[in-house]
Amino acid sequence: MAHSETVSNTQKNQTHYDQLYGQVNIEGILRKLTHLDAFLNDATTTDTSWVCMYRDGFKDQLKGQTVLELGCGDCTNAAVMAALGARVWANDISTKSGAIVTALNQLYHFDHPITYLEGDFLELPLPEEKFDYVVGKAFVHHLTHEQEEAFLRKIVSLLKPTGKVRYVEPAVNSNCLDTLRWMVPVKGRPSSLQPSKFKAWKLADPHPDRDNSGKHYKKMGAQYFHEVTITPIGSIERLHRLFPSASWNRKFRRWALRVERFLPSFLSYPLARTQTIDYRVPKLPTNTTI
């Protein structure tokens, strides 16, 4: 991809998220921190992004760890990790995310205040700190494949030898299912069966056309890490839109996420809506490109 196209993609994302994060309710985040156990007990059994990020006892591994969150967005996850005792660095291209971090540091007593790193991660100078974890919730699919690989090269240089990467990303493992998904209109996105409206939406959408399959993430990660694990979830949970009532919706999600653990991989992989991507044991970067 040409440099100008990469810059355009970054600028589109920055404009989009400056608008979105300018509306974040700081008080809402503080309420979650005040009732942290109750919030996590609910979120990590119901909401796919939280289920994926906090799987395998992640909550209990954070105290005293150095963590860099990329694409920190509304900063809720950064704040939760800091409240759990981690030393958190948070990065986003949005200036609004920095304002959220400043407000949270002023209004909540973290053992270690969150450090905000504003701007394009690839353009930022390397911090002296080495990290136990680099994490990101739903940010990689905003990058082109070239940007994603450049991120990994830089991440490897920032990790401790025992450091780990955990991404939570949409899973697109079935072209047929993905085609059907685009046909169904959702709030803010027209159906692909409305070509002119869909094309206009696509031009304004900050997500580039890219591969978001588990196979892609496995191949990408294997260049820079000795261990790669892809864990898909949401194969049944994705039906939650059939239950518009908020209370029934959340009950269905919790039930679905429990039940789908027993699905065989040949069903759970292609039908999954979300995936946890774990990279462990960093190795020297290669010159391989995807």
Q: What is the pLDDT of residues 65-94, one digit of tens each?
A: 999 999 999 999 999 999 999 999 999 999
> Could you tell me if residue 179 is inside a domain?
no
> Could you tell me if residue 254 is inside a domain?
yes
Distance, CA of 15 to CA of 46 (rounded, Å): 30
Using a pLDDT cut of 90, give the percent of the chain over it.
74
Answer yes or no: is pLDDT of 29 > 60. yes
**Side chain identity, residue 164:** K
> Could you tell me if residue 205 is inside a domain?
no
> Could you tell me if residue 206 is inside a domain?
no
pLDDT, position 288? 45
Using a pLDDT cut of 70, give the percent of the chain over it.
93
> Could you tell me if residue 187 is inside a domain?
no
Number of structural domains the chain divides into: 1
> Could you tell me if residue 246 is inside a domain?
yes
- DSSP tag of 264: -
- DSSP tag of 186: B
Answer yes or no: is pLDDT of 64 > 80. yes
Least confident of 40-44, 133-137, 205-209, 237-241: 205-209
Parent domain of 119: 3-174+211-282
pLDDT per residue as tens digits for the range 156-194: 999 999 999 999 999 999 988 888 888 888 888 999 999
Q: H/E/C letters for each residue in 92-123?
A: ECCHHHHHHHHHHHHHCCCCCCCEEEECCHHH
Task: For residue 95, count CB atoms less than 10 angstroms from its CB and return exposed for 0-12, middle for 13-18, buried for 19 or more.
Answer: middle
Distance, CA of 3 to CA of 12 (rounded, Å): 14
Query: Domain of 94: which CATH number?
Result: 3.40.50.150
> Could you tell me if residue 127 is inside a domain?
yes
> Could you tell me if residue 185 is inside a domain?
no
Of the ranges 6-10, 51-55, 191-195, 262-266, which is most confident? Answer: 51-55
Phi, psi of 129, rounded to the nearest 5 degrees: -65, 140
255 pLDDT band, cuts 50/70/90, is: very high
